[in-house]
Structure 1
Amino acid sequence: MNPSHLTTHPLNNTTLRERRNWYIHMCYVRQDYAECLKVVEEELQACNGLCEYPIYVKALIMRHQGKIKESLKFFQAATCLSPHNVLNLKQVARCLFLLGKWLAAVDVYEECQKIGFEDWEIWHNKGLCFMYLKDYDNAIDCFERANDVQRHDATYMQLGKVYQLLEDFKMALRVYKEAIDFSPQNSEILTTLGLMYLSMGENQKAFDHLGNSLAHDPLDAKTIVAAASIIQDNQDMDVALMKYRVAAVKTPNSAQLWNNIGMCFFGKSPQPKYVAAVACLKKALYLDPFEWIISYNLGLVHLKKEQFASAFHFFSSSINLKPDFAATYMYLAITLARLDDFDNSCSAYKKSIDLDPKDSTTRLNYAITLYNNDETEMAQEQFKLFEELFRGGEDDEDVDEEMELQKNMLKQALAAALED
């Protein structure tokens, strides 16, 4: 046999294109990206750019480095070389998703489904695209189909999130419970379910699920903060602060964490620590200047310290960020009254009442402000409305002592004024 025949064998080009794929794969798996790209470039030159796998790996590295547009071009080039390779198409769709081109990504995923078999990943990622497009019905359908193919924790989490976005909390709760049955040791699902119960006001159920989550992952900062907030609501500030101290090691730049710590110092009894509270809240505000609740809490602390100009500033900032929260207008009205701006104080009270006409505290404070400014008849009218709401909405055991004291003082003062 003539050895020269081997040099012109028709399999030579295929062998050339695939000869170093194993080494490229090994470098990529080892995350030796510099060496990997070097070999890829050598292979692309040797094969005139017609080798699919080196192009595919180069695209993966580009995406890992944050070069999404360049990565997309390489995945598209790999798709041109092998149009029926579903892996290439899925990567093209993934790049489009990361670029925010969700509708285009859906089209590519649908092309994948025409070529390939039923794939959980395709249905799940289509659901994510529809969720970001705010097409929630299609998103729910895709996530349910993904779970029909193969159940995954991630799909349950996203499906529950969609129901929360639709404010269908009953269905969201049902999804998370099903997820717990499927994966009872998943701390993220346990935490999410705990937070759901917390938002619904069922603190005991919330605490139970958060406790189970901490049993599986005792250092999860999100779970610690949620559990500590329940402890804080029960006025056990020292224990809550101990929990927050653990979370601060894991997430030192969490605005929510520093906000909660600040309010713990503010709520300490019998002696609140105002300086520490302001320091923590201002750190939270620095970390997240657009979170309305932080400005609101700073306003409360400054109002309590009788620093009315600062309180006015923070309440105004909070209203700009969240203009539909009635309590902020009430405290702004109190602040304006203490700054001797009676007219604007009344306007703020009226806005608060418009947003929440059933809040008895606003009526009482409005009546006090009216009485202090010699508007006795209007004060009497607001006080009557307060008493109706107070009797209808408060249990005797839950009555705030300070509110009860203010109510009795105002009642006596109004009675004396009417006698005169």
Structure 2
Amino acid sequence: MKNQLLLLMALAISVSVTGQKKELKAAAKALKKGKYSEMWTPLNAVGPMFKDMDDKYKGEFLYLKAKAIYGKGMDPKKDVKVAKAFTELVDFEKTQKSKKYSKEAAVVISRIVKKTAEDGSSAYKDAKYNLAAEKFELVYELSPLDTLYKLNAALSYYNNKDYDKAIHLYQDLLELGFTGIYKEFKAKSVVNDEVLYYNSEKDMNSQVAMKIAKDPEVKLSKSKTGDMVRNIALSYIAKGDNEKALEAISKAKVLFPKDAYLVIQEANINLGLGNNEKFLQGMKDAIALNPNQPELYFNVGVITMQKGYDEEAMGYFQKSVELKEDHAESYMNMGSIILGEASKMQEELNNSFQDFKKYDKLLIKRNKIYKRALPHFEKAFKYRQKDEDLMKTLISLYQRLEMYDKEKEVKALKDAL
């Protein structure tokens, strides 16, 4: 009886395998004739048997199913299903160390990925951020090596104010160790010096060799880590969760201890929360990590000035303009600090109104202060020639210092605005 049962099982398996071969052959025949709808009857017949199917037939089944979905390839509404079907086929063949169908599948997937990415970009440009995010996520799902599209999806969700989804994707990227750094290949056109960008170093060197381009350059792009952490933090802030925002940055700083941008974002959040001391210390830490960034010195100078440490603030503003000569705000703040000395004299001037000698000496002293402040405002004006408030300050100083020609000149510029 036992042997009879084994025989029946063997016969059942034999019939099953024979049936699979027959149905797959029928589907392949329909494919060859271009009768895609007729492929589904045999495919549906063997589909439930897929788990128990012999591996050599699984690949064929997945291929035929993908081709049945794809059809003539003229229906863009099927693109997602088609790409997922071909991706399933490629993934299976990887487990079998086979490439029988993968080359054809890769061509179809690549076309759909490219089209989906273009659709995502168009939606983003049209500010349809939710649609853009969905398209970019699909690109990443179909092509996991294209991690940048997951970043694009996160940014799209962030712009759509869908903060929970944005946070989730950004955190996934950080856990993956994604930095967004890539090689950038660029050169200049020999015709008009326009900057040209290339997909590879080979393409760039080829155009240089043909004397179409010159001055080739290979550069690494900036890390996106700071932007991701910033957007996580800003997402938490938008959700009213500043504690989580600071926590997010704190975790990122463990991974990237020398990332000045993270320190700056933490400092800015503290500033928004009114934690001026922590902001100031954070900016000083950022300067230590990135000593050639003028904005850092400027920001520290502003807070230091607000806290009344004028001499220290002057040092920060001076360093800012040493690094960036046209930093008009730093010049204006240096001038304002010096003018503050004159403001402190006003009460003494009011009390000495009856003592002409003392009053005249104080006026001379105040004019000397004005003369010290004036070059800073003039320097700022060199880079901010349409700033009305700056013009008013200069007009006032020229008037007080009896520099009437200069006063007239700036007044004319102001009236012409």
Which has the higher Rg, Structure 1 or Structure 2? Answer: 2
User: Is the structural similarity TM-score above 0.5?
Assistant: no
TM-score by length of 1: 0.43
Identify the structure with the greater strand proportion: 2
TM-score by length of 2: 0.43
